Homo-oligomer: A and B are copies of this chain.
Amino acid sequence: MPKRRLKRVNRRHIKRDAKMPFSQGVVVGNTLYLSGHIGLDSETKRVPADIPTEVHNLLKDVRSVLKEAGMTMDDLVYVQVYCPEISLWESFNEVYRTYFKGDLPARAFVGSGKLLFDAHFEFQAIAVKS
C-alpha cells in the first residue's frame, strides 16, 4: 500500500504500429523511454546484408523517435546495445560515433543470444532533454 499520494506526471506515447505490443517511446516530463530498435530495411522489413547499413537504419530510426519527442541523439543518457556477435563492437562504434555532436551517453554493449529478425544489434535507451 502506498504511504503517500504520488503526484501525477503527464505522459505521451509515441506509436508506429498499433498492432505491436509496445510504444516506440514514452515521454514522461523531460524523459523519453525508448523501445528496443533493430536496423530493418524499411521496405523489405529484413535486416540488410551490410552491417554499417543495419546500424544506420537502427540509429536513424532512434533519431526519428527522439525528434518526435523534441530531442536529438545528444539527449540520450542511458543506452543498451545487445549484440549476438561481440566482435561487431568496433563496426557498431564506427557508425555510432557519427551520430553525436557532444559527449556520448553512458552505454552498455552486451553479448546477447539470437535477436528478433536475426538482427545483429538491438538498441534500447533513455533520453533526457538537456
Contacts and interface: CB of A to CB of B under 8 A. Distances in A.
Given A82-B108, A105-B22, A77 B128 contact: no
**This protein's copies in its complex:** 3
Interface string A97-130: 1000001111111111111100000101010111
Interface string A41-72: 00000000000000000000000000011110
B105 A110 contact: no
Given A33-B78, A77-B28, A116-B89, A22 B124 contact: no
B70 A2 contact: yes
Contacts of A77: 11, 26, 28, 33
The 6 closest A-B pairs by CB, nearest first: A36-B108, A2-B70, A111-B113, A13-B103, A33-B78, A22-B107
